[in-house]
Structure 1
Amino acid sequence: MVYCGKPSRGCQMCRARRIKCDETKPTCNQCAKSRRQCPGYKDEFDLVFRNETQATERRAQRANKKALAQKQTKATGVQDANKTASSARRVPDQSVLATLKLPIDQQATCHFISNFVLLPRYDNTRGYLEFVVPLLQSEKPGSHFKLAFDACAVACFGNRVGSGHTFEGQALGHYTKALASTFAALKDPEVATSDATLAAILMLGLFENISAKQLGTLAWGSHVEGAIQLVKARGKAQSRTKMGLALFVAVRTQMIIHTLTSGKAPIMGVEWWIGDAVKNHYGSECQRLNIRTAELRSEVNRLMTTLARSPENIELLLDMIRRCQTVDQQHLNWERELPEYFRYKSVAWEDNVPNGNYGLAEVFPGRVDAYQDLWVASVWNMMRCSRLILASLIVRCAAWVCSPVDYRTTPEYATSARTCVDLITDIIASVPYQLGWFSKRKELLEMEHLSTFGCGEEEALKGLPGYFLSWPLTCIQGQDYTTDAQRAWTKGRLQFIGNHLGIRYANMLYQLNIRIPSMLIRRDGLMANPYPMAHNFEKLVSARTAPPSEGYSMNPIQQREAMQKAQLDREKTDLVIKAMGSSGQLDEKAVATWLQVRSAAMGP
């Protein structure tokens, strides 16, 4: 493979319509004749790498066919023409063979750009890592950035090529040198805040996800936190240039994932992160809500570890429930206001599970959704993950308030369970689109192509969709509301991303065995007082009368056991109320004796 910096010909509208452009400036005549607004031509920032290996081969084959056709028309007989064509096919094109014998670093560069560099086709849309190409083509890209890029490229290339090669050692060598070079650059005041330094830190973080071998986010998280501090030092002026804005948005995206997964509060406020750094209104608005969700999660974590039971603190958590519900409603409002190119459609229904193995199935039984663009699908899934987190926060707060009554009897749990089941289904339905299921079913797609990869075939299976999916799949894998079949399928997709797409960290994530929010509620209960005080019993009485939620994956035996447990909890609450009487003191021995008798009476 080779790459070049030649810009694509024609205006963006003609390219999207796939018609020939006369390249008249400032606007082309094709757009003027069809009464369309010409978006103009790509600038130098949009120079892209092209996969010339396959293109050269195709051109050679077309030239051969054309030459053979001309010979056939001039030949005296069909037999002679066939012999000539056969002879021509047996002679390999030496230029193509020479192109295939490229150094590993050039092959790795092209492979990385064709898998991870997503370039926006229009000014108001977003890509991913679009700053990589102009930095590589600059006269002085910076040794620290170039080393960090080479580490990612070689590691990515080695993961896809397979074992039996020395790529892992080469990638680690580049990574070690990149760390030292970046550390030296941070000591230089002029170089520390440059675009190349921030880009190098982002590439180092990506390397951790590509090559991770053990569970833990410390290394990736430390790079993200370093990038956040550097963005803070660069100030607002960084978003005034096209490359600066692309870098800022990339750091903001990584910051959101880091804060949502770690539970840490994002530094600076929502307005500082959004403000004027808006490239696409709908994408930026979604990230605004993501940051608000991260702030709420951090605040709930802090309250759960510090609050003691009191009337004031109960009101504080009830207010927190209302705040979470407000942000969740804002997510729904965002969804309703989306334009047509941000919408998705259900285009297929799949029932087949090969050999009954959900872990190997490409599609989970149910609907399959198609999106207009890969970036659009990633924005939708980030919104869904935020809503799943908000639902868990609401249930956690409700469980704290209504304890010791089972939180699963509260209306908050019933509402959150229904919401989460729908969100999990939506994320699962988006996976086939991102992992190449439509490559053989193109007739089902109506794509806008808002972005394109730097080089290579667009229909080929890419690494970036797997990178985008790692967090949403991990999020639904640990949900209480995910069925066993859905969980098995999700783990299988994470293994596919890790083994076939080269995102090794996905192999670590599928091994996680957590349940949200039940495990967090258990932890919150252990840190809080075991019994509520007398002032809370009016709320307990109202909470225990709430209708229990339906079990989404329980069989009839489990449902009967759940109903028995709910009845036991209601009678336990009645006894506690009577045992306290007017004194406000709880006779724990009487409660324990009653529970033993009652459990024996109900049987297994």
Structure 2
Amino acid sequence: MVYTGKPSRGCHLCRKRRVKCDESKPRCGQCIKLGKECPGYRSESDLIFRNENVAVIQRSQRGDAAKAPVPMSSTSSPPSSLSSSELVIINTKSTDPAPDSTQIARWVNNILNDRDDDPFPDLNPSTLQLGLSRQLQLSPEVCARAFFFRNFARTRQDADFSARGYLDHLSRLFNGVAPDSALHQAVTAVSLAALGGYPSKRLLRDYARHYYGKALRAARNELQDPIRAQSDESIMTALIFTLYEVVTTTDSRSSIGTNNWANHVDGAVALVKLRGEKIFDSVVATSLFRAVRNGMLTSSIQQDRPVADFPGPKGWYGDESAPQNYSGTLTRLSLSLPDYRIRAKEVLKEPASPERDSRILDVVAAACKSDAYLGDWYRFTPPDWRASTIALSDGQNMAGAWMGPIHAYEDVFRAYAVNDYRIRRLLYHDLILKCLMALETKNEAVEKIERSSKYVSQTMVDEICASVPFHLQFDLQSKAQKLGQDEGATLAIGAYLLVSPLHTASGIPCIPERQRLWLQDKLDLIAAVFGVTGEQMLDMARKQIVSTGPSDSQLLYRRDDMVGYSIVEYIV
């Protein structure tokens, strides 16, 4: 296809009048001068995927027929594994070496070495194109990317950036990179993997692995340049790698995917640390920083390790001077959770003594203070973040909704953000209750804290249950219908975003056994519909947030103190 020029980002009225638009938000200056209502701007995805006229399509088809690809030999052997010299991704001759070059090198080195499957499988792309292009008139890559941007990364003028995060900036970054860049290849890989989730397009998953391997090799080459290693595109690439591991959770090698996901998070952290405080100079970079910070928090809790240091006097709180959003604030309020868990684990291993009880109460007091901040966070969220009750359920039908209210939200992204808040409160109160159960002596104040903690835990679980129908029923998601999103993709996103809340809630010991069974039934339903095994379901939960704690016997509730409730095995 010939070059058709750079598409205008101006508003619809300025393009119609053929005048230069200043692209001001929410209304352009030209429309204000005319006294006209600004009709708005085109989305980034519309700028990337432009319509082709009939003549162009016919010329493209004639060219494809004339250049019929020669099928690849089915007996050809796959490329040999990468040598150790190929895995060096930082130029050792550079006069300005990156401070975290060792960590970045370890990142890609681990990913490539941990893959016991061939990252460059012997595929025949022409066969895939013949299977799809006759119906769609487009290559599988283009179809997959259009599907991905429309359903997962669509940018809208009314989008709430605090709810959707870094994917809102993907279109602009993607539009500015070359087709052979790591970001372009990574987006193609995750797009093919997402579209390959449909039963009729499973073959695309293998094709996605092919592009994933190409993206890893391209990333290795790009990171040889310390300047490019500090770019927004490099950080976005690392985040897309983590998203790819999440999307491919249902593949057979989920345990390998978990390790790769954690390694990609570590790589993204290293890239962000390379930027240092300069990362707060732009809105896009700040959004990427917050996405990486959230992934690092999840990984730290999962692995029971302290939060990594970030260069600068304020550390990971360095975005305080930047415009705040609700999701970023929620993560900042939770950064102390890994340290509290580590402190609690260490003190609970000590022999019983008054000094030990005193240290336990110190941990409890700190955790209660952090939890209070989380409660304040929710109280100050705007009304469109809150749940609205659309129906009441008696809970008689275990296949339907849980007893009580049924909640609806603006969209599944806000619903997940609020459920993420509930998960974090559940983790704090799980820690508080474990510590209180380990005390040798209790007074009235301790018992009051214990009752309050159980009440908050039950409330959070009930509200997670109330959000389940909204995630799993397309007719309740009016915004998705209005935007014309694919029903299957929308329900798949909703189901995936439910896994971690359901998994965490089902592991809380102080809920009724009937409610626990209902939560597990919903997890089984998601697994059955989307073809996920129990191990893969746990893997999905790990990649979003973590289960409620370690399996150390000292951290378990004592059954004699929790009559009527069973002890749950905690898995990290």
Indicate the TM-score class for this superposition, using the shorter chain for normalisation: 0.5 to 0.7
1:429-508 correspondence to structure 2 within 5 Å? 429-435=466-472, 437=473, 439-441=474-476, 456=485, 461-495=490-524, 497=526, 507-508=536-537
Shift, 1:259, TM fit: 2.6
Q: 1:516 to 1:154 in 2, by over 3 A?
A: closer
TM-score norm. by structure 2 comes to: 0.67
Matching residue of 2:64: none
Q: 1:26 and 2:29 equivalent? A: yes
Q: Which amino acid aligns with 1:285?
A: T
* Contact kept? 1:155, 1:207, Cα under 8 Å: yes
* Contact kept? 1:463, 1:502, Cα under 8 Å: no
* Contact kept? 2:185, 2:215, Cα under 8 Å: yes
Deviations 1:52-84 (A, max 9, x none): 79xx9xxxxxxxxxxxxxxxxxxxxxxxxxxxx
- Length, aligned pairs only: 456
Shift, 1:177, TM fit: 2.3
Shift, 1:319, TM fit: 1.1
Q: 1:495 to 1:158 in 2, by over 3 A?
A: farther
* Contact kept? 1:47, 1:134, Cα under 8 Å: no
Q: 1:249 and 2:261 equivalent? A: no
Q: 1:272 and 2:315 equivalent? A: yes
Q: 2:388 aligns with which of 338, 345, 348?
A: 345
Deviations 1:351-394 (A, max 9, x none): 476xx5x4xx3533432111234332222111111111111111
* Contact kept? 2:178, 2:184, Cα under 8 Å: no
* Contact kept? 2:189, 2:212, Cα under 8 Å: yes
Matching residue of 2:553: 522
* Contact kept? 2:348, 2:555, Cα under 8 Å: yes
Q: 2:332 aligns with which of 288, 300, 303?
A: 288
Q: 1:192 to 1:485 in 2, by over 3 A?
A: same
Q: 1:428 aligns with which of 465, 468, 488?
A: 465
Higher relative contact order (CA 8 A, sep 6+): 1
Matching residue of 2:260: 219
1:338-417 correspondence to structure 2 within 5 Å? 338-351=381-394, 358=398, 361=399, 363-402=401-440, 410-417=447-454
Measured in 1, the distance between the counterparts of 2:490 and 2:10 equals 23
Shift, 1:136, TM fit: 2.1
Q: 1:456 to 1:418 in 2, by over 3 A?
A: closer
Matching residue of 1:311: 354
Matching residue of 2:198: 160
* Contact kept? 2:364, 2:435, Cα under 8 Å: yes
Deviations 1:427-485 (A, max 9, x none): 111222233x2x3357xx6x7x9x998x8458962544334333222211222134444
Measured in 1, the distance between the counterparts of 2:7 and 2:302 equals 38
* Contact kept? 1:473, 1:490, Cα under 8 Å: yes
Q: 1:350 to 1:519 in 2, by over 3 A?
A: same
Matching residue of 2:187: 149
Matching residue of 1:140: 178
CA RMSD of aligned residues (A): 4.4
Measured in 2, the distance between the counterparts of 1:145 and 1:121 equals 24
1:182-201 correspondence to structure 2 within 5 Å? 182-201=219-238
Shift, 1:194, TM fit: 1.9
Measured in 1, the distance between the counterparts of 2:254 and 2:307 equals 23
Q: 1:110 and 2:154 equivalent? A: no
Shift, 1:512, TM fit: 9.3
Q: Which amino acid aligns with 1:400?
A: A
* Contact kept? 1:351, 1:366, Cα under 8 Å: yes
* Contact kept? 1:478, 1:516, Cα under 8 Å: yes
* Contact kept? 2:407, 2:466, Cα under 8 Å: yes
Q: Which amino acid aligns with 2:432?
A: I
* Contact kept? 1:395, 1:413, Cα under 8 Å: yes
Measured in 1, the distance between the counterparts of 2:191 and 2:534 equals 16
TM-score norm. by structure 1 comes to: 0.64
Q: 1:509 and 2:553 equivalent? A: no
What percent of counterpart residues are identical?
Answer: 23
Matching residue of 1:329: 372
Q: Which amino acid aligns with 2:173?
A: L
Q: Secondary structure at the match of 1:479?
A: coil
